Chains A and B, each alone.
Chain A
């Protein structure tokens, strides 16, 4: 694969050289190129305020005109969400090639970008108005908590490919940048209601007002009620609950070229979540296993008992199975009397299903203040401060934490002469945690802590009833991070833009790093732009991956207690620890892109990438492992306005990944999406959306779940009246009554059913 990467890169260099060697064309013409026409269409949607913020000279990075951007950027506008019948912003990611968006139970959304995650850990950076929203404890994003009302959403920029040289650590697979509107643009009142046939409800209310000529505000509230769905077995998913949010924003012009923004939000969510206990109490099946030999089994084999792990390296079966088989030496019920009773069987392996539900409350609040301006010498700058408190309890695991975070961020950019542009910035973060763990009720029975026994050889001292599933212990709880970046861009001609830069970071979590990036774009003519990029990006291992001891199972020692087997007839805790030695995951990323507009009605974009990642962390019993992962793939997207009344968009993505040389099957090789918006009348639009997702396997230590490929068809109508009513009716997943998509592997028992739903949306602005 290394050879492939080198060949790929060398090919790009030769290709670029041959292109750059061509004569540079003159574009001095009153004629408009297709790209320019498309850009004009975009500008037409901007109001005076947005126009006044449109830079004249190309700005570095991802803020410049989309069609000149040397990166795979997909911009989602509010109408893309409402017209496609999406409820949350995250739903609309299904329309972006390269994004793998799935649902577990009703409130769990998972997003993976460009084939890089077999688990729930997000390996891309998500920001809402500049605030990083990645949960450092588990490396996840709560998409419900971070969502905003549709009427205040300005856009979502999805930048596929690493952008570490500007955005920094965790911008590994890409960046999701959610931007809300200036409060002057949300004056008046607006209401959005969505009701689904299963009872799920979403309501949003936004009010905006003006305090003076130069100061504006808005306040908003939102309520989302989840109805209960089903798991694939047909059992109740117990995923009903609610998520409620409120927020505000105040904007003031401090001068003709200086703005002040103060904003904040509060979110609370109340849901239950399951812990799969089916294979957490184990019986050894290997008579010769060094740690837990089973003298009751034939010495020359496992007595016909199959290990629960698919790789044969985990020679145990659930105690419930051992008991049912009346195997010798199984523990009496009094030895684990707190364990819940089984309720049915887990398919397809047929072992007794044992689960445990607990509350999973989450509360988060944040404040954001920002001053931005532009100086006489065209230095654009901003200083932003963020404060956040996030309090969550994973009741099913018995793990809770409160995070307090303070960020200070400075960014600036400045044209230098006519052909150069410099961007730079610095940031500081302080984060502290208050971590608590409790023993959930199923685990409250005496169990040997082997680390105590190893030091005391005293069984009584080693028997504990307070071993939590996740034990953070005395691990560090305060972290600081200092970072800076600089990026220089130069227009070598009208055709060629070259930019290079690096981000420098030093943090308590992962030490020091330099993350360089280089991009080059070449406009072959008025209709074709090529780009190439290399960058190195890092991702920090999460705190759980670094510092937490995971007690994932308890193993019964079936032999009688004696001098040589002092732990006989006892439950023995089995755990694995995170490692603070986990280095940052380091990705070398190569990308080639081609964007073409053969006419102003058609846009085609092709991007090819190869990622090579060192020390990628993969979680799951029996250990956290680091692997070298190589991913190769591409995306082909199009946007076609067949007529004034018909708009088609779509994309296809293909990727394949190898972990330590072995092909990954936890990510679909192929995905495709196609949406059609046809205006039957000026105020009535018929929408068709089709999504294809290839098959894959949800990884698991004992019960990997195959997910068949699925085709989703959504149909809908949106009626927009002159007095600002918008009424939409959608049928979703019309080809299939239900299908599974995802779950937290090794934590959930089984995926939820993503069911066919009918949805009514009503929006009114007044």
Chain B
């Protein structure tokens, strides 16, 4: 057998032409297409994967008691910024599905959309355990850190960790979502990320 001297059998029979024609007929109904909305699907998929990562990350984080609310109070997770991709709802859904708690405490998930107004400042000063900067957040990381220095800071993009000294960020490269983690997140006492995550080289890049 040799590929190059073989002869492919008759290929385009009338039946196949009929089939192809049929599919093009089916296609004709689709033109023009709304290609802009296609990216939305990808963004929502990113949001779902990130929300799942966040769920796992919280499970792998340990807080010392002084950094947690009272036993009868809820632990707080604050999301900052506009959310057009369903991240907040995805995370809420995952948290409810997994009955997520932080050290036995129920969760309160707070979404602050736009400005660092008095209400936002109040919420941020109540020692939230996790602060997540959404992709379209206008909040300034340094401002938030001043208000809540003992929160686990999670955001988007490499600069969030490298430039702004955040704890964890998501990056989107090579068609995958990966994590960039600040080295100090493993070494400090609270909030402290489990060192087992640091061994996942394909998942995690540790910097600083």
Contacts and interface: CB of A to CB of B under 8 A. Distances in A.
B70 interface: no
A12 B18 CA distance: 13
Contacts of B18: 6, 9
A257 B174 contact: yes
Contact of B175 (A28, A57, A536): A57
B93 A37 contact: yes
A49 B34 contact: no
Nearest to B4: A506
Interface in A203-242: 213-214
Nearest to B88: A30
B37 interface: yes
B200 interface: yes
Contact of A16 (B19, B26, B83, B204): B26
Contacts of A47: 56
B203 interface: yes
Interface stretch (B44-52, B143-151, B157-165): B44-52
A55 B176 contact: yes
A506 B26 contact: no
A54 B49 contact: yes
B7 interface: yes
Interface string A330-373: 00000000000000000000000000000000000000000000
Contacts of A49: 200, 202-203
Contacts, number: 204
A374 B178 CA distance: 13
A623 interface: no
Nearest to B44: A36
A17 B28 contact: yes
Contact of A253 (B16, B23, B201): B201
Contacts of B15: 588
Contacts of B175: 55-57, 374, 378, 380, 415
Contacts of A253: 201-202
A496 interface: yes
Interface in B15-48: 15-16, 18-20, 22-23, 25-30, 33-35, 37-42, 44-46, 48
A49 B175 CA distance: 15
Contact of B90 (A32, A380, A496): A32
B86 A44 contact: no
A526 to B, nearest CB: 11
Contact of B29 (A21, A28, A512, A536): A21
Contacts of A504: 8
A54 B177 contact: yes
Given A56-B42, A56-B172, A44 B29 contact: no
Interface string A689-711: 00000000000000000000000
Given A43-B52, A374-B176, A532-B26, A214 B8 contact: no
A457 interface: no
Contacts of B33: 24, 492-493, 496
A58 B175 CA distance: 9
Interface string A524-535: 000000001010
B199 interface: yes
A374 B174 contact: yes
Contacts of A12: 22, 26
B41 to A, nearest CB: 5
Interface string A100-123: 000000000000000000000000
A419 interface: yes
Interface string B185-208: 000000000000101111111000
A513 B202 contact: no
A40 B9 contact: no
A312 interface: no
B93 A514 contact: no
A53 interface: yes
B67 interface: no
B201 A418 contact: no
Given A51-B53, A56-B177, A493 B27 contact: no
Interface in B53-109: 53, 55-56, 83-86, 88-90, 93-94, 97-98
A593 B75 CA distance: 45
B42 to A, nearest CB: 6
B202 A52 contact: yes
Given A13-B25, A52-B200, A415-B175, A44 B42 contact: no
B117 interface: no
A230 B181 CA distance: 62
A347 B49 CA distance: 61
A480 B29 contact: no
Interface string A497-533: 0100000101110011110101010000000000010
8 contacts: A30-B88, A32-B89, A48-B53, A48-B197, A494-B37, A511-B6, A512-B3, A518-B20
Interface of A: 6, 9-10, 12-14, 16-21, 24, 26-32, 36-37, 39-41, 43-44, 46-49, 51-58, 65, 213-214, 253, 256-257, 259, 374-376, 378, 380, 415, 418-419, 479-482, 491-496, 498, 504, 506-508, 511-514, 516, 518, 520, 532, 534, 536, 588
